[in-house]
C-alpha cells in the first residue's frame, strides 16, 4: 500500500536555529511530492513541490526540500527558524488514493512546528 509518513508529530526549535521536518513516502512509481503549511485559523498554503525535475526544491519563506529516491524521503529544511514559521506542516503525495487517475492529494498526519524565543 502507498503511504506518506511524517516521522514527528511535534518539532520544537529555537528561533534562529535550523529546522528539519521529516517525511517518508511509499510508492511504486515516482510520485509528485509537496509540502503545505497551515497557520492557525487559515487555509493550507503550498510551500514547495517536487515533480521529477531537480531533486532539491526551493520554496517560499526560505524553505527547501530534497527528494531522495533511494531513501524514499522528502524532508523539509530551513537554515534559520523565525517565529512566524510556527504552524502545522503537511507532507503530501499526489495521485495515491484508491480512485486513481487524478491529482487527489494524500496528506501525512502533519508536524506541529514550535519556535522557542
Partner 1 sequence: GAGVSQSPRYKVTKRGQDVALRCDPISGHVSLYWYRQALGQGPEFLTYFNYEAQQDKSGLPNDRFSAERPEGSISTLTIQRTEQRDSAMYRCASRALAGTQFFGPGTRLTVL
Query: Which residue in the block uniquely carries the three cell numbers 536555529?
Result: 17
The site for partner 1 (CB under 8 A) is made up of 34, 36, 42-46, 49, 90, 92, 97-110
Nearer to partner 1, 72 or 105 (CB): 105
- Residues with Cβ within 8 Å of 104's Cβ and at least 6 positions away in sequence, in order, are 94, 95, 97
Q: What is the CA radius of gyration of the chain?
A: 14
Nearer to partner 1, 72 or 106 (CB): 106
Least CB distance from residue 17 to partner 1, whole Å? 26
Query: What is the distance between the alpha carbons of residues 1 and 71, in angstroms, rounded to a whole number?
Result: 17
Least CB distance from residue 13 to partner 1, whole Å? 21
Amino acid at each position: 500500500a502507498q503511504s506518506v509518513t511524517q516521522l514527528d508529530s511535534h518539532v520544537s526549535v529555537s528561533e534562529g536555529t535550523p529546522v528539519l521536518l521529516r517525511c517518508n513516502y511509499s510508492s511504486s512509481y515516482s510520485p509528485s511530492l509537496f509540502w503545505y503549511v497551515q497557520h492557525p485559523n487559515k487555509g493550507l498554503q503550498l510551500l514547495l513541490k517536487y515533480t521529477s525535475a531537480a531533486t532539491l526544491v526551493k520554496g517560499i519563506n526560505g524553505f527547501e526540500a530534497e527528494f531522495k529516491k533511494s531513501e524514499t524521503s522528502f524532508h523539509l529544511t530551513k537554515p534559520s527558524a523565525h517565529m512566524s514559521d510556527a504552524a502545522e506542516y503537511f507532507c503530501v503525495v499526489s495521485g495515491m488514493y484508491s480512485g486513481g487517475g487524478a491529482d487527489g492529494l494524500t496528506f501525512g498526519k502533519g508536524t506541529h512546528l514550535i519556535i522557542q524565543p
